[in-house]
Amino acid sequence: MIRVVLATRNPHKVAELGRILVDVPVELVSGVDVALPEVEETGDTFTDNALLKARMCAAATGSPAIADDSGLVVDALGGDPGVRSARFAGEHGDDEANLLLVLERLGAETNRSGRFVCVAALATPDGHEVTETGTMQGVIAEAPRGAGGFGYDPIFIATGQQRTNAELTPAEKDAISHRGAAFRALRPHLLELAAVDRGRQGGGPSANAALR
C-alpha cells in the first residue's frame, strides 16, 4: 500500500482527513509522525499555500503528500480573514482570538454572509501535482455557540443549518464542509495513485502517471 503523508501537525485536521478518506486504499501518515519541515505560508491564495505545503512535504519525505489551505472569507470584511485565517489576530492558531476579532470587526453589520474555502493539494516527490477546491456558504453568527469543531466553527452557520459548525456532529460537518468537499474531489486522484502503484509493484507504469 502506497504511503501518503498528511502535511499537517494539526490533530483536528488529521482526524478530519482520516474520516473523510477512510476508505481510500493508501496508508495515510500523520505529519506528527514524520520530520515535516516548517513551511512559511507566503502565498497570496489558498492554492499557493496548499501547494507550498504539499511540495515541501513530498520533497522532505520522499512520499506523495497531501495538504490543504483553508480559511474564512467574510464579505463585509472585504474577504478577510482569508489566507490569514489562522493568524488573523496575530498569533498562529489562536482560534478564540481569531473568531473574536471577526465578531469585533463585524460589529452590528447586517450583511454577515461568508464562506469557508479549502484548497486540497496532492504532490509527488518528482513534481507532479493536482488541486481541488471546496466551499461552504453561510453566515457569521452574532456570538460563538457550540463546543465541537475548531477554528471559526463556533461562529459559522452553514446555509440550510440553524446550528453553528461547532454544534454539528463530526459526521454532519464532514458531509457539508469545505474540507470534505475538497478532499472528496481529491479522492479519485488518490485512487488512481494507489491503482498505478499496484501496477508498478507488478511491473506496471510509474505511480506518477496517475497525476498526468
DSSP 32-73: GGTTPPP-----SSHHHHHHHHHHHHHHHHSS-EEEEEEEEE
CB atoms within 10 A of CB 204: 13
- Give the pLDDT of residue 202: 61
pLDDT one digit per residue (tens) for the chain, 212 residues: 889 999 988 888 888 888 888 889 889 898 888 878 788 888 899 999 999 999 999 999 999 999 999 999 999 999 999 999 999 998 777 999 999 999 999 999 999 999 999 999 999 998 889 999 999 999 999 999 999 999 999 999 999 999 999 999 999 999 999 999 999 999 999 999 888 777 676 644 333 333 33
**What is the grid cell recorded at 81?**
480573514
Q: What is the pTM of this model?
A: 0.87
- Give the pLDDT of residue 186: 94
Largest CA distance in the chain: 64
- Which DSSP letter does residue 87 get? G
Is 75 among the residues known to form the active site? no
Distance between CA atoms of 36 and 29, rounded to whole angstroms?
Answer: 11
- Give the pLDDT of residue 113: 98
Catalytic residue among 23, 33, 44, 69: 69
- Give the pLDDT of residue 207: 36
Distances (CA, A) of 194 to 114, 187, 202: 36, 11, 13
